[in-house]
Amino acid sequence: MNTEAETRVEQDSMGTIRVPADRYWGAQTQRSVEHFPIGVGLDTMPAEIIHAFGLLKLAAARVNHALCPDRMDAEKLAVIERAAREVADGALDAHFPLVVWQTGSGTHTNMNANEVIANRANELAGKALCHPNDDVNMSQSSNDCFPTAMRISAVTMLEQRLLPAVKTLVDAFLAQEERQRGIVKSGRTHLQDAVPIAFSQEISGWRSSLERDGELLRLALEPLREIALGATAVGTGLNAPAGFAPLAAEELSRLSGTAFQPARNFFHALTSLDEFVFAHGAVKALAADMMKIANDIRWLSSGPRCGLGEIRIPANEPGSSIMPGKVNPTQCEQVTMVAVQVMGNDTAVAVAASQGNFELNVYLPLVAHHFLQSARLMSESILAFTRFCVEGIEANRDVMRRNLDRSLMAVTALNPSIGYENAARAARLAWERGCTLREACAELGLLSGEDFDRLVRPETMI
């Protein structure tokens, strides 16, 4: 329990409350700390949201100075700018204690930002110059600030982390395609033998899936660029000066280095989260492809002697506390676990987005948390998978060739010469007798050995 000497008194419209003396937050933040002890240390509001608040408060202050210089004078602007920049740069992260499980509008986090910036600005000014609501929150509402911070952080996360991570893995697969060119192996469908395929072709399928996922993510970026700042409480723009919204979007674009524009309809921007459902769907599509790719790689590397064993992956750490020498496909496993988490998050995002009531959605912190968690986990998972697994994949050529020679589906190449029914008879006989297709065709009188060798050439079947 903080002693009186370790606290200071802060006041808001509900009265006074004691706040830790070494923290910049104020009364409303402290009330949230005390009333929402839920997920503390586990589900703190994402830092990306906090940094986005720093940018939007800085942009708002500059526009307010341009439009309302009598209220946002140069002295106030100077200290608010410095304090907001510190928030945006992460220098004041320790002063943002609130959890995701708070008011559904994110008002507590908006006020946390207002209070921290105001108190830090006053410290810089050396006097009580700035008020959290009247100055830092000027021309704004929590209802337009939190959705704006969500969009800033989401666009930044996709542009700066997830899309570059996807490109890193695409490039790694491109390099593997070149390394493995010329290797022919048995294809598989339904987990059963299929006709031959080049290993480089198999890898190209993985790579192309990721390229398409990148395209989908870039499509999803565009709707997220429409921000709610300027809508204020219900979308009417009450208390914001004329021209505030477009100027704020322009300033925010300059500050962030990426494009934002005012929402086409503010009433939609406050109550609907369809852009996040769409964008998280693109993240989920990537997760689904990563699940498939990771599973393919761990199937192909299974063994080393009692599985498929067609590829070798890096041995990064011991795989068992009891079985010496065991190595497991741990990078594949982390990818699949992350994919499952993303798929679960997608359900939560969709349900939350359906809960917009009248002029506001009140599941904003949950959607922000789940979206950013999904994108961050996917980014980090993909980079680790690339570095510690994909880059070190080696083809086991001997096993691939042996499996190819044993595959019964090479008989497909004989369909034009002996017909589907006769080819099926040869495959069945080879399976039952444990002999080769060549031997089965000869025994059935369908083809001579020489004709079989001429027609069944795996390297021409890819």
CB atoms within 10 A of CB 392: 15
304: preceding bond cis by omega (within 30 degrees): yes
Given the structure tokens 């022919």, which residue do they identify?
184
CA distance 21 to 4: 9
3-state DSSP helix/strand/coil percent for the chain, to nearest 5?
A: 65, 10, 30
CA distance 177 to 180: 5
Assign 290 to helix, strand or coil: helix
CA distance 200 to 242: 59
Pick the catalytic residue: 190, 209, 374, 417? 190
CB atoms within 10 A of CB 421: 9
| E strand or H helix at 60 | helix 47-67
- The two three-digit tokens of residue 127, written as one number: 């006097």
Question: Any catalytic annotation for residue 280?
Answer: no
Strand partners of residue 262: 227
CA distance 462 to 454: 16
Q: What angle do CA 106, 110, 115 make, to 5 degrees?
A: 145
Q: Which of 239, 60, 240, 85 is nearest to 148 (CA)?
A: 60
CB atoms within 10 A of CB 124: 17
Question: Any catalytic annotation for residue 190?
Answer: yes
Strand partners of residue 197: 185
Pick the catalytic residue: 35, 105, 142, 320? 320
The set of catalytic residues is 190, 320
